[in-house]
Amino acid sequence: DAGVIQSPRHEVTEMGQEVTLRCKPISGHNSLFWYRQTMMRGLELLIYFNNNVPIDDSGMPEDRFSAKMPNASFSTLKIQPSEPRDSAVYFCASSVGTGKETQYFGPGTRLLVL
């Protein structure tokens, strides 16, 4: 079975540009999570969805960040406008249920904002 799929794997953009990261969770999983990882701040939970509904977006850093999950097999994380401090690796993870279940992480998108 395919794991969590993220695209693009690498993104280089200029400050002020819009960036869209994409995620396809594992089929049958009903929870989806977006994380950001930097050397300074480690791995941070940005937002998570359950059954396509955003449940907790308290980790979203600013209004420049937005996330959607239009259906069970697709989610996007958008940054508009992007800034150099947004440079990080963004991971998407999915799991079954809402409790203690294992989260399966994608390979990540490495974003560099110049």
State the residues that interact with another protein by CB under 8 A: 4, 31, 33, 35, 42-45, 48, 50, 55-56, 91, 93, 95, 98-108
DSSP result, 36-54: EEETTTEEEEEEEEETTEE
Instruction: Give me the least distance between CB of 15 and another protein, in Å please.
Output: 25
Instruction: Give me the least distance between CB of 96 and another protein, in Å please.
Output: 11
Beta carbon nearer to another protein, 37 or 73: 37
Of 100, 50, 106, 40, which is closest to residue 61 (Cα–Cα)?
A: 40
Instruction: Give me the least distance between CB of 111 and another protein, in Å please.
Output: 14
Question: Looking at residue 77, what DSSP letter applies?
Answer: E
Question: Looking at residue 59, what DSSP letter applies?
Answer: T
